[in-house]
Structure 1
Amino acid sequence: MAVLSKPLSTRLSSANIKSLVNDFTSLYLQNRTRISRAVYLTLFVALITRIRNAIAEQKAASLRRATSVHKPATGKGDGEATGRKKVELNREFFKNLLRLLRICIPGWKSKEFRLIIGHSVFLVLRTMISLYVAELDGRLVSALVRGKGREFLVGLVWWMGVAIPATFTNSMLSYHQCKLSLQYRTRLTNYIHSKYLSQMTFYTLSALDDRITNADQLITVDVAKFSNSLAELYSNLAKPVLDIIIYNYSLSRSVGGEGLFFMSLLVQVSATVMRALTPPFGKYVADEARLEGEFRASHSRLIDWSEEVALYAGHEAEKDTLDKGYFTLIKHVNRILRRRFYHGIMEDFVIKYFWGALGLLLCSVPVFFKVPGTSMKSMGDRTESFVTNRRMLLMSSDAFGRVMFSYKEITELAGYTSRVSTLLDVIDDIQAGHFEKKLVSSADTEENAAVLRGRGTVTEGEDIEFVDVPIVSPNGDVLVRALSFSVKPGDHLLIIGPNGCGKSSLFRILGGLWPVYGGKVRKPPFEDIFYIPQRPYLSRGTLRQQIIYPDSLLDMRTKNTTDADLLAILETLEIANLIDRPGGFDAEQPWEDVLSGGLQQRVAAARLFYHRPRYAILDECTSSVTLEVERVMYEEAKRLGITLMTVSHRRSLWKYHTRILQFDGQGGFYFGGLDAERRGALEDEKEEIELQLRAVPDIEQRIRELTSE
Structure 2
Amino acid sequence: MTWRATLRDAASLALPFWRSPEKGKAWTLLLVVVGLNLALVAMAVLLSFWNREFFNALEARDAERFTALLFTWAETDSGTMPGFAWIAALYILVAVYALYLRQALQIRWRRWLTEGMLDQWLAERAHYRLSLDAGEADNPDQRVSEDAKLFVDMTLTLGLGLMRSVVTLLSFLFVLWSLSDSVTILGVTIPGYLVWVAILYAGLGTWLAHLIGRPLARLNFRQQRVEADFRYALVRFRDGSEGIALHRGETAERTGLMGRFAAVMANWWDLMVATKRLTFFTTGYTQVAIVFPFVVAAPAFFAGRIPLGGLTQTASAFGEVQGALSWIVDNYAALTEWRATVTRLSGFRRALDAARAHAGEGVKAAATPGDTLRLDAVSIALPDGRTLLQADHAEIGPGERVLVTGPSGSGKSTLFRAIAGIWPFGSGRVEVPEGARAMFLPQRPYLPLGTLRRAVCYPSAPDSLDESDLREAMELAGLAHLLPRLDEEDAWGARLSGGEQQRLALARALLNRPDWLFLDEATASLDPAMERRLYELLLKRLPGLTLVSIAHRPGVAEFHTRRWEVRDGRLYAGVDSSTDSTAAP
Question: TM-score range, shorter-chain basis?
Answer: 0.7 to 0.9
Alpha-carbon distance in structure 2 between the residues aligned to 1:434 and 1:199: 6
Q: Match of 1:103, as an amino acid? A: P
TM-score normalised per structure 1: 0.63
Alignment of 1:194-213 (within 5 A): 194-213=119-138
Contact 2:362 2:424 in 1 (8 A): no
Alignment of 1:573-584 (within 5 A): 573-579=477-483, 581=484, 584=485
Alpha-carbon distance in structure 1 between the residues aligned to 2:350 and 2:415: 29
**CA RMSD of the aligned region, Å?**
3.4
- 1:368 counterpart residue number: 305
- 2:92 counterpart residue number: 167
Equivalent residue for 2:564, pick from 661, 670, 674: 661
Deviates more, 1:586-595 or 1:154-163: 586-595
Equivalent residue for 1:136, pick from 50, 60, 72: 50
Equivalent residue for 2:17, pick from 104, 126, 130: 104
Matched, 1:156 2:70: yes
Contact 1:511 1:526 in 2 (8 A): no
Describe the superposition over 1:259-295 as per-residue Cα deviations: whole angstroms up to 9, x where unpaired. 763234567789999999x9xx979x9xxxxxxxxxx
Equivalent residue for 1:357, pick from 267, 279, 295: 295
Secondary structure of the residue aligned to 1:136 is helix
Secondary structure of the residue aligned to 1:495 is strand
1:268 and 1:569, CA in 2 relative to 1: closer, same or farther beyond 3 A?
closer
Matched, 1:674 2:582: no
Equivalent residue for 1:569, pick from 473, 477, 491: 473
Q: Match of 2:59, as an amino acid? A: V
Q: CA deviation at 1:527?
A: 6.3
1:675 and 1:430, CA in 2 relative to 1: closer, same or farther beyond 3 A?
closer
Secondary structure of the residue aligned to 1:536 is coil
Alignment of 1:323-342 (within 5 A): none
- 1:240 counterpart residue number: 165
Alpha-carbon distance in structure 1 between the residues aligned to 2:287 and 2:532: 91
Matched, 1:542 2:451: yes
Q: 1 or 2, which has the higher helix percentage?
A: 1
Q: Match of 2:475, as an amino acid? A: E
Alignment of 1:400-411 (within 5 A): 400-411=325-336
Larger Rg over CA atoms = 1
Contact 2:363 2:421 in 1 (8 A): no
Equivalenced residue count is 490
TM-score normalised per structure 2: 0.76
Q: CA deviation at 1:363?
A: 6.1
Alignment of 1:265-664 (within 5 A): 265=196, 356-361=294-299, 368=305, 382-433=307-358, 456=364, 458-461=366-369, 462-515=371-424, 517-525=426-434, 528-556=437-465, 562-579=466-483, 581=484, 584-639=485-540, 640-641=542-543, 642-664=545-567
Q: Match of 1:529, as an amino acid? A: A
Alignment of 1:59-78 (within 5 A): none
Contact 2:365 2:420 in 1 (8 A): no
Alpha-carbon distance in structure 2 between the residues aligned to 1:568 and 1:197: 33
Q: CA deviation at 1:353?
A: 6.9
Q: CA deviation at 1:456?
A: 4.9
Unpaired runs of at least 5, structure 2? 72-82, 184-189, 216-280
Q: Match of 1:198, as an amino acid? A: A
Unpaired runs of at least 5, structure 1? 1-86, 286-342, 370-381, 436-452, 557-561, 681-709
Describe the superposition over 1:309-330 as per-residue Cα deviations: whole angstroms up to 9, x where unpaired. xxxxxxxxxxxxxxxxxxxxxx
- 2:264 counterpart residue number: none
1:242 and 1:404, CA in 2 relative to 1: closer, same or farther beyond 3 A?
farther
Contact 1:88 1:414 in 2 (8 A): no
Q: CA deviation at 1:406?
A: 3.7
Q: CA deviation at 1:133?
A: 1.4
Q: CA deviation at 1:589?
A: 2.5
Secondary structure of the residue aligned to 1:551 is coil
Secondary structure of the residue aligned to 1:500 is coil
Secondary structure of the residue aligned to 1:653 is helix
Q: Match of 2:510, as an amino acid? A: F
Q: Match of 1:263, as an amino acid? A: L
Equivalent residue for 1:185, pick from 110, 116, 128: 110
1:411 and 1:577, CA in 2 relative to 1: closer, same or farther beyond 3 A?
closer
Contact 2:451 2:488 in 1 (8 A): yes
Alpha-carbon distance in structure 2 between the residues aligned to 1:217 and 1:199: 21
Secondary structure of the residue aligned to 1:608 is helix
Secondary structure of the residue aligned to 2:489 is coil
Q: 1 or 2, which has the higher strand percentage?
A: 2
Alpha-carbon distance in structure 1 between the residues aligned to 2:201 and 2:11: 40
Matched, 1:262 2:193: yes
Q: CA deviation at 1:423?
A: 1.3
Secondary structure of the residue aligned to 1:586 is coil
Alpha-carbon distance in structure 1 between the residues aligned to 2:44 and 2:134: 54
Q: Which runs of 4+ in 1 moved over 4 A?
A: 256-260, 264-276, 346-355, 362-365, 453-457
Q: Match of 2:438, as an amino acid? A: I
1:612 and 1:271, CA in 2 relative to 1: closer, same or farther beyond 3 A?
closer
Describe the superposition over 1:3-50 as per-residue Cα deviations: whole angstroms up to 9, x where unpaired. xxxxxxxxxxxxxxxxxxxxxxxxxxxxxxxxxxxxxxxxxxxxxxxx
Q: CA deviation at 1:648?
A: 0.8
Alpha-carbon distance in structure 2 between the residues aligned to 1:230 and 1:613: 48
Q: CA deviation at 1:393?
A: 2.1
Q: CA deviation at 1:457?
A: 6.6
1:248 and 1:544, CA in 2 relative to 1: closer, same or farther beyond 3 A?
same
1:359 and 1:136, CA in 2 relative to 1: closer, same or farther beyond 3 A?
same
Q: CA deviation at 1:526?
A: 7.7
